[in-house]
Amino acid sequence: MNKSVVTNLIAALAVLAGYLLALPILLTVGLFALSGAVTNWLAIHMLFEKVPGLYGSGVVPSRFEEFKEGIAHLMMKQFFTEENIERFLSQQGNAEKHIDLQPVIEKLDLSPAFDALVSTVSQSSLGGMLSMFGGTDAIEPLREPFMEKMKTSLSDISQSDQFYELLKAELEQSNVIDDMRVKIEDIVNQRLNELTPQLVKEIVQDMIKKHLGWLVVWGGIFGGLIGLAAALVQG
């Protein structure tokens, strides 16, 4: 059962028992405990829900824009700083395994490269000789073997230390890092713009509301102790 409900129920039963049994101390303890528990429960409720007539209630959804700005600031100023990006690239540079570009190379369409080669040959001094053997159609069967060889060569080049050092040096240039941060910031802002006040409220509730039930429990306990002290002093 919900901790808040149990605490309020126990406090209410203490009030009822103290009243019916004419036990002033129990009645006072119950009233103070109920007051502390209900007050804390209402405060938690007011974090997430707007209560008519109570100024400041519904603070989470009403501060929706500030919540988004806070996330954006945290992401860009704490995580995706220029220093962190440079550190990441440096760590990647020290890694034993190079960046695997093989999947990208496999998806490349190298037909334009073959077409450019054919065009170059046909326009060169070999063009006349090529026309004697059927023109450009004569070398069309070489398209697929050419593309396979090119992909193999590109893959070998991409795995070489020289290529990796050149790539790393290019990525570590300040303008590249600045462009990277701008693109990351655009992605973060785009995702944050998809959030709604209701979604933000649900996210925060899922994170902390179940733990805030202890505030109600301790509110009831401390309220009861204060009530007991007050009853003993008066007695």
Same domain, 115 and 152: yes
**Per-residue pLDDT tens listing for the chain (235 residues):** 688 889 999 999 999 999 999 999 999 999 999 999 999 988 888 888 888 887 878 887 887 788 778 778 777 777 777 777 777 666 655 544 556 677 877 887 888 887 887 787 777 766 666 666 667 777 778 888 888 888 888 888 777 777 777 766 666 666 767 777 788 888 888 878 887 888 877 777 777 767 788 888 999 999 999 999 988 888 6
Provide the residue range defining the domain that includes 221.
3-63+209-234
- The whole-angstrom separation of Cα 21 and Cα 53 is 37
**CB-based contact 4:216 (threshold 8 Å):** yes
Same domain, 40 and 92: no
Same domain, 101 and 185: yes
**CB-based contact 67:48 (threshold 8 Å):** no
| Residue 99 phi, psi (nearest 5) | -65, 130
Same domain, 118 and 189: yes
**Model pTM score:** 0.52
Same domain, 213 and 138: no
In a domain, 75, yes or no: no
- The whole-angstrom separation of Cα 47 and Cα 38 is 14
Same domain, 21 and 95: no
Same domain, 91 and 187: yes
Same domain, 29 and 101: no
In a domain, 133, yes or no: yes
- The whole-angstrom separation of Cα 20 and Cα 128 is 116
In a domain, 76, yes or no: no
Residue 185 has a pLDDT of 83
Residue 96 has a pLDDT of 46
